[in-house]
Structure 1
Amino acid sequence: MMLPLIRRFRRLPPSSNNESSNPPGENAQRPAADDVTYYPNCMDVLKVRYLLHHIWQWTRNSDDLLPVEIVDMIVDAGEYWASTESVLEGETVIRKDQDQVLLTTVPLCYDVQTLGSASPKSLPHRTVHPCRRVIFTISSHDQGWGGGAGSRGQYGGSYSWFDAEILHAAHQRPQPVAPEEQGPFDFGPDHPHLLPNAHRLQSNRTAVGTWQFHTIVWDHLDDVAADSGEAEEIERSQGRGRATLDGSQVRALEAGDAIAVWGRARFGGWLNHVQRVSVRVFWAI
């Protein structure tokens, strides 16, 4: 049997800032509240897979089934994936050196209702690396003043930002650790969390005191190298860390992993005002 040729085009990260058409410093337009995007659940995906698998039996009066490999290709081409969304709403202000976790996603491919039990229930998923896409949306701004004359309204020179941390095997109940076993927290001058770096999720615009809205998409097909000119331009114009553009974070996620979003601010006077954060995680079934 001849299989159809499916060409895979590189998926470039979309603009991470919905205010891209506005002059720096002007308030961005809030994304529409009446978003009617349909997100299938596990049962929806399983039903579609069943229909595709048996379509030859019904249309050709045959005993043959459409091969599972082709069903997988169709589902992925249509991006018909299950997903869960985690949301933080309500204004939070993060001050200098008071970094905090804003939200943690549901462990990938696990039923949230069973978490914390002796046997958390896994949901249907395909392979040990089922994640296909992660969409972050952030509404935030910094203190609204400061920064050099050349950096105001830009992402360069911003010291209020967000990081995404991967929590492996988050579906397992954490084991308590005695304080004497935790050890000291040593933030040396080269600690990766001390300053915004190439792995940061998103920076705020510098010295902009109105709410800014960003959408950051991690996709398993992303392949922009951190040392490329394209990555440098995305980091400069969109405020994303250049090391988050190659899709490796998504491809490495395993069932049971979760994502924690940190809000950070550094140096005297810097603030990170956070209004809303959401993370939607998609996986293949």
Structure 2
Amino acid sequence: MMLPFVRRLPGHRRRPHPRNDGSNNSPDEDGQGAPAEDETYYPSGFDVLKVRYLLQHIWQWTRGSQELLPVELVDMIVDTAEYWASSESVMEGETLIRRDQDQVLLTTLPLCYDAQTLDTASPKLLPYRSTHPCRKVIFTISSHDQGWGGGAGDRGQYAGSYSWFDTEIIHSAHQSSQNRAPSNQPHQPEGPFHFGPDHPNLLPTARKLQSNRTAVSRSQVHTIVWHHLDNIATDSDEAVEIERDQGRGRATLDGSQVRALEVGDAIAIWGRARFAGWANHVQRVSVRVFWAV
């Protein structure tokens, strides 16, 4: 019996390569800031359950055996193929974040919950496996800064950038509609937010999601992949190189954020700009969260 063919998602590696190779942090070539159309097939939870059933019974059908393929082996096959359920949240429409006007751009759906039931008294859980089922998160951001400023040596690079993006984990987001954006729509908090000189959100840190290129007015498309098998240490030379060349926070490369996510957790994406003259022009943000079934 033939199993359905699924095209493997591009650029999903255990250890992200520091070069801009088109799969991670690649600027949009036409300058319009629009990600290429994604024709990848993303299986539903039901699709994954069907494939798991086929894998478990294939031993019986091909060998005439009464035994099923062990569940542990099925888990290994499914995880190696990255055949996981997922949900996507999208912010469409340009948003301008000026000096010190930090803003939540998008809040993802609570992990493993049915979007259609979130506004009901009993939100519905979708099929999932293990206490920490999240396996991968793909962030796609189309944005640019104000197009001038920064040191002469920083222009076009990520060093010296004061417009960037952070993430915040919202635990048990399914329990309160006030903590999440309804049906993929961006949440607009009250603001602006002013941070003192010692506040961790005043400047970009090693835990930032992504920086804009410094003094570049053309929109850039950055695709940031968090994987549960990532294992690059924050203080390693490789992490420092990736932060310098790709604009990712070097403390987001060890996979701990993905492994720590629990059922019902959501991810909020913050856009930030700091200091006079700096601005963060955001055209589009999307986040696809994958979990094991």
TM-score over 0.5 (shorter chain): yes
Larger Rg: 1
> Residue 271 of structure 1: which of 276, 279, 291 is its match?
279
Aligned to 1:209: 217
SS at match of 1:264: strand
Contact preservation (8 Å) 1:18, 1:28: no
| Corresponding residue for residue 36 of structure 2 | 32
Counterpart AA for 2:125: S
1:1-285 aligned at under 5 Å gives the runs 11-14=14-17, 15=20, 16-19=24-27, 27=31, 30-33=34-37, 35-173=38-176, 187-285=195-293
Distance 1:154 1:28, change over 3 A: farther
User: How much has 1:252 moved relative to structure 2?
Assistant: 0.3
Instruction: Check whether the contact 1:147–1:158 (CA below 8 A) recurs between aligned residues.
Output: yes
- Give the direction of change, closer, same or farther, for the CA distance of 1:154–1:272 in structure 2 (3 Å limit): same
What stretches of structure 2 of length at least 5 have no aligned partner? 1-12, 180-192
How far apart, in 2, do the equivalents of 1:101 and 1:77 lie? 34
| Secondary structure of residue in 2 paired with 1:59 | helix
How far the C-alpha of 1:116 sits from its partner, in A, is 2.7
Q: For the residues of structure 2 that align with 1:188 and 1:28, how far apart are their CA atoms?
A: 36
Whether the aligned pair in 2 keeps the contact of 1:57 and 1:64 (CA below 8 Å) is yes
Secondary structure of the 1:122 match is coil
Q: What do you get for the CA RMSD once the two structures are aligned?
A: 1.9
Question: Is contact 1:12-1:224 (8 Å) kept?
Answer: yes
Does structure 2 conserve the Cα–Cα contact (< 8 Å) formed by 1:18 and 1:29?
no
Query: Conserved in 1, the CA contact under 8 Å of 2:161 and 2:213?
Result: yes
Following TM superposition, by how much is the alpha carbon of 1:30 offset from its aligned partner in structure 2, in angstroms? 4.5
Deviations along 1:245-273, one digit per CA (max 9) or x if unpaired, are 00000000001000000000000110000
Measure, in 1, the Cα distance between the counterparts of 2:227 and 2:170.
18
CA distance in 1, matches of 2:281, 2:111: 28
Which whole-Å CA distance do the structure 2 matches of 1:190 and 1:244 have between them? 22
List alignment gaps of at least 5 residues for structure 1. 1-9, 177-184
Give 1:4's aligned residue: none
